[in-house]
Structure 1
Amino acid sequence: QDSTFDKSDGGLILSARVSEQEISFTNPLNNKITFTNFVKLKSDISADLYDRMKELIDQSTPYRSDLETTNGVQFKNGTGSTDLSAHIYFGSDTTETIADSYEWSKDGTVVAPTQTITVDASGVADKAVYSFKATIAGKVVASQSVTITNVDDGTSPINLVIDSSNGYQFKNNIINTTFTAILYQNNKEIDSEGTKFAYIWSKTNSDGTVDTAWNLAHQTSQKSITITNSDVWQRATFDCTA
């Protein structure tokens, strides 16, 4: 870049003479033109016209919008908060422009006339769209929106417990007990009637093999099953899935 280039004067205007020209017919990339006798010229554009041109350029230069958050845009389990801040920049400027006014909306409804707002998780059911508008000289020059979500990690887990009416150990091949699958969630029993879930029982023999015949015979959903000596030889493991 020429050190005499002065951006504040609207650029550098020169006149020059072509003193030498080299043309390569085999490789046009080697073509070369040499200029000499440079003369710096002054623009004939009047100061008033130049100011008007600059004004028109400024009017057509858009503002860039930037939306910042202090704690992201997603809440979990209805807890937490985040600050949303509106910022605008003129053209490629890196210095922020402070607007005359800012306006924040939530799902299209105005909620605050400030540059920064605080969003609390309690105010977001599932999701909400927050938008801001920045105004200068009565004109909206920039806007931006962001979607805030509120998600759950999941419902409390369901635990299955197998209750035996007559214990889990028997002697002398005298076996008679009823297994009942009980579901707990949040330390409370659910589906006490056995109508909301399907209960499938399975049996594993003492040698670790699956008792396919027994499983097929008990594939119908049952919350409770009766176990006798015909179901157990020495030892067996019973499981239930719901």
Structure 2
Amino acid sequence: MKGKVFRYITVCCVFLALFALANFYCYQSAMNQFEKMQEDYESRVGEQVQVYVDNRMADRVEQLEKSVRESVQTENVSKTLSDSTVYQVQSHNALTDETVTEYQTLPEELVGCDREQAQEYCSKYKKNMSAKEFLDGLQSVSLISFSPERLTICKNYDQSKVKFRYYLISDGTEVIAYYGDMKTVYEHTGIAVSSLSRKEKQQLKKGIEVKDEEELYGILENYSS
């Protein structure tokens, strides 16, 4: 009797052990599957979030680029000179260290210019300066301030650097006196080149730099005698 009971208990224990192992295996399998599903879910969600973020960033970058382009275009249009721009000219004398300020009409070639173009105008100004500015010793023109409302430039003068005020040359038939800028006629002398010596003709062909008015009329008087 005791042997039957023992076998029964043993069978029950084995059964319970097998049942417990089966449950544990099922549980472990379920947990593994759940973890895999969770990882897949997190991966899909992560990919979707990344795509969303990338799209949002691309849209934002495009908006910023568009905004910058529009801003630059607006700035370029608005920051140009016009007929209503106040034109202020400062004339600085290097010998006396004095500066005189004048208000003038904006030159026609500056109308519609932006800052860079106005700067270029100042840089090239000496090439087209007047004879008076040459004689006054204009050395440079600089941009002081720029805005659509006001343009300020400074003209720097130093007469001590003017090496010659007049320039004599011939056109082949007549002796012509120019200002020192070599492009503005001071006087058509009426002196025929044919009446001059060979040496004088050669000098006039090269051009003669004349210091001042006294020297100029001394040379012309010598040519006429």
- TM-score of the superposition, structure 2-length normalised? 0.29
User: Which structure has the higher relative contact order (CA within 8 Å, separation 6+)?
Assistant: 2
More strand by percentage? 1
Rg larger in structure: 2
